Amino acid sequence: MNFEQLEHLVIQWAKDRQIIPNSNPLSQGIKTLEEVTELLAALNRLDRDEAMDAYGDVMVTLIIGSYLAGMTLTDCLHSAYDVIKDRKGYLNTAGVFIKQSDAL
């Protein structure tokens, strides 16, 4: 199963549970933040299973939120990739990517 098929299944799951149409992009953004917090906790504990679940939950909230905003997460990813694909820079010693234009 490819990502777009999974995206469709998540949207249908959300419709079946009345998340769509009763939620909105902002509430899904808040839910995403909660899930990212769970992800960080799992990563901190080095709990691979919980991290995998949390990564998945983040994706679910992003799929639902983008759908409610009138777009697909696939389209959002394509758009973001178009912006970064030619970006130059480096990773500093703190592990932060510094864009070439920011480094000047």
pLDDT at 103 over 80: no
pLDDT for the residue numbered 101: 75
pLDDT tier at 102, thresholds 50, 70, 90:
low
pLDDT for the residue numbered 87: 86
Q: Taking the CB of residue 10, how many other CB atoms lie within 10 A of it?
A: 20
What digits encode the pLDDT tens for the residues 46-86? 999 999 999 999 999 999 999 999 999 999 999 999 998 88
Q: How many degrees, rounded to 5, is the angle at CA 62 between CA 72 and CA 27?
A: 115
Which SS3 state, helix, strand or coil, does residue 61 take?
helix
Which SS3 state, helix, strand or coil, does residue 86 take?
coil
12-16, 27-31, 86-90: the lowest-pLDDT one? 86-90
